[in-house]
Structure 1
């Protein structure tokens, strides 16, 4: 009995996806539970597994196709022996081949009995036929050649187009993933709809660096995770949000929705673009819990294993361009949020301190905000509060 491969439910508000990559070809054997194809949504990558064993007889939606929930992707046929066509080689031994491989061989006049099989049990696959055909007296065509008709005069050597010189000016066409398309659309929409401004400040990281050096080993031994900078900034942001609650709000129509909970989005860079998993109730988390949660979410993001729930919501976002060497940037709002903090590279710079020039590890920080509900005074004061808390990290235990 044939088993249908259908697009599963993808999550709340997601109705379509893009076929990312098939892990199997037509004619390949499959086992129940084996991953067959990946579907890309604007938020996560979903793996579709086989609900039964057999042979992947048909692929109905190729890579790059747009599909909707419940749509048929392919069909798994029951794996059976085919006594009606017992092929044998010259020595009388039986030759097994996939249906696709057999049809391909028949179409192009290739002797399938002469092809060594690379599949399970020596089974001849479609790729085996293609490889064999490419080296045979009648190679399999790799692309269609237009037929010469009375209305299409044949090209002679004199009329052949001149070859294009290879001067190194090569171009490559890459299909945008659904996630990248969505990221692009949302960034443009955020800039179009919000009155976005950015204010800057700088933070002396000496105290945090010293605290981390003193407690790094004991912290890891006790909690099983490193003590990074992100937990300090998360705590500092929460302390500043409590003092300036409009930064933890959003606009709905003609109303301002102020949120008295703190779900902090942490931007994570992946091969497919930036994603922002959310730390729920971050104000209730310890330093160790924050570091552990960020480490886990970042790992899952880079393995494309985040769920829809991991990415939904969020009241404020932190992004760290410093890990790539950025000294200063203007982060774009993660709509419908009205504030985002940008961290940057720590760099030793000369600064004036108590009338003297000293060298300090400094970080520029940026706050982009929606000027529709946040005035400059609040934005600047918010960033100053973050600076004060990070420069005096012991205060984070009380105010964070």
Structure 2
């Protein structure tokens, strides 16, 4: 038997969740075929078979948490040969031999399991149960020692837990609630702030959503985060895009968007204010002399931040192609962990959703994030006497005040404003 193990995912990721099995027991697979999809803190990873054969056993169920190196399935690499021929007698002999061996293994397994079960019951009173059953029991608040196993080996499975939970609910419905039970129920209802007589839906958070929630809270607890604001007159950029968009598309096979201008402006400002392109490590500041800019992209499972590498060395067209490629990966769920690692500064654009003003949260361990917003026509005073309608955008910089002073952050944002309002300077400064 060939064991299928959870592969190395990334340096910072040691476990994942079985999101979906792409094969079933008895199915023929070839080397390279995807057999399972794992959900990690950052992206979904598809694990492929390393050998030809037939799926013999799936050891984990969807929703189970698995660690790197853990065996999650087995493949019978000889099954295809047995099915393809070799003589009826040979097949029969193999079948009889395997049947005998399986019976012996089954008998040994039953004896071992029952012995282990008795020992475990005697020593710890802890029932034998599948990982999925234990997980479900925790979610439903079921005591596994009270669950009757239907498995002849005495192993509690998910269906046993469900049956026990359903029976318990039915029994409670038939009995009048005591004062203690009513109090407990009221406390539970108050805790969830959900009235039971109203339609509700309880949806389990995905691993990625849990990670996003955890890290955003951690940032606000560990960083001295502040936000400063400014506004940009987008007239000059709009003029360039209007004049150059057709020729740019024809020459580069990609549209000239706003993000390449903002990426170039951020790089130019980071070169002048290097503390915004840093991170804190203990009592040291790690100043990064490279410019890998993260571009926040909204996905169905949650926000992800793929990285445009070496943005200072890329042309406008190369930046736009990188962003287009990464966006396609996000939508098709083909983003890799490498696409998300190592960013030095992040840009997020709430304007595509209609946001006029917001305060972005830092993408740790980075110490700066720039927020773009909706372009809106507003009357602007040109001088003491003239007013003009201009396409204006509010921009926001959230920064870690532990290493970035307020004056430095304000100056950084002003520099971005200057570069965007004079786009030709981006060729020199960006």
Tell me which interval the TM-score lies in, with the shorter structure as reference length: 0.7 to 0.9
Structure 1 residue 169 displacement after superposition: 3.3
Pair 1:190 & 2:189 matched: no
Distance (Å, rounded) in 1 between the aligned partners of 2:409 and 2:376:
24
Distance (Å, rounded) in 2 between the aligned partners of 1:396 and 1:253:
35
Give a deviation string over 1:273-299, Cα, whole Å, max 9, x none.
111122222111110111111111121
- The secondary structure found in structure 1 opposite 2:298 is strand
Unpaired stretches in structure 1, ≥5 consecutive residues: 85-141, 162-166
- What is residue 73 of structure 1 aligned with on the other side? 72
- What is residue 367 of structure 2 aligned with on the other side? 338
- The secondary structure found in structure 2 opposite 1:274 is coil
- What is residue 360 of structure 1 aligned with on the other side? 390
- Cα RMSD, aligned residues only: 2.9
Pair 1:225 & 2:254 matched: yes
Pairing partner for 1:374 from 391, 396, 404: 404
Structure 1 residue 15 displacement after superposition: 1.6
Distance (Å, rounded) in 2 between the aligned partners of 1:246 and 1:158:
67
Give a deviation string over 1:124-156, Cα, whole Å, max 9, x none.
xxxxxxxxxxxxxxxxxx997569x9xx9x98x
- What is residue 170 of structure 1 aligned with on the other side? 199
Distance (Å, rounded) in 1 between the aligned partners of 2:420 and 2:341:
28
Structure 1 residue 73 displacement after superposition: 1.0
Structure 1 residue 159 displacement after superposition: 7.6
Change (3 A) 1:158 1:203: closer
Matched pairs, number: 333
Structure 1 residue 28 displacement after superposition: 3.7
- The secondary structure found in structure 2 opposite 1:361 is strand
TM-score for the superposition, normalised by structure 2 = 0.71
- What is residue 185 of structure 2 aligned with on the other side? none
- What is residue 343 of structure 2 aligned with on the other side? 314
1:29-178 superposed matches below 5 A: 29-77=28-76, 78-79=79-80, 80-81=82-83, 169-178=198-207
Question: Greater share of helix residues, 1 or 2?
Answer: 2
- What is residue 237 of structure 1 aligned with on the other side? 266
Structure 1 residue 204 displacement after superposition: 1.0
Give a deviation string over 1:181-229, Cα, whole Å, max 9, x none.
2221111111111110001111111111110010001001111111000
Structure 1 residue 364 displacement after superposition: 0.7
- What is residue 127 of structure 2 aligned with on the other side? none
Structure 1 residue 267 displacement after superposition: 1.0
1:260-339 superposed matches below 5 A: 260-339=289-368
- What is residue 186 of structure 2 aligned with on the other side? none
Structure 1 residue 25 displacement after superposition: 2.9
Distance (Å, rounded) in 2 between the aligned partners of 1:349 and 1:168:
48
TM-score for the superposition, normalised by structure 1 = 0.77
- What is residue 23 of structure 1 aligned with on the other side? 22
Give a deviation string over 1:46-90, Cα, whole Å, max 9, x none.
111223344433211111111111211112332455999xxxxxx
- The secondary structure found in structure 2 opposite 1:12 is coil
* Range moving further from structure 2, 310-319 or 359-368: 310-319
Question: Greater share of strand residues, 1 or 2?
Answer: 1
Distance (Å, rounded) in 2 between the aligned partners of 1:159 and 1:399:
76
Change (3 A) 1:24 1:339: same
Distance (Å, rounded) in 2 between the aligned partners of 1:276 and 1:158:
52
Distance (Å, rounded) in 1 between the aligned partners of 2:23 and 2:394:
49
Change (3 A) 1:170 1:247: same
Change (3 A) 1:251 1:362: same
Give a deviation string over 1:319-352, Cα, whole Å, max 9, x none.
1111111111100111111111000111112222
- What is residue 425 of structure 2 aligned with on the other side? 395
Give a deviation string over 1:227-253, Cα, whole Å, max 9, x none.
000000011111111221211122222
Structure 1 residue 315 displacement after superposition: 1.4
Give a deviation string over 1:95-122, Cα, whole Å, max 9, x none.
xxxxxxxxxxxxxxxxxxxxxxxxxxxx
Runs of 4 or more above 4 Å deviation: 79-84, 142-147, 157-161
Distance (Å, rounded) in 2 between the aligned partners of 1:335 and 1:297:
21
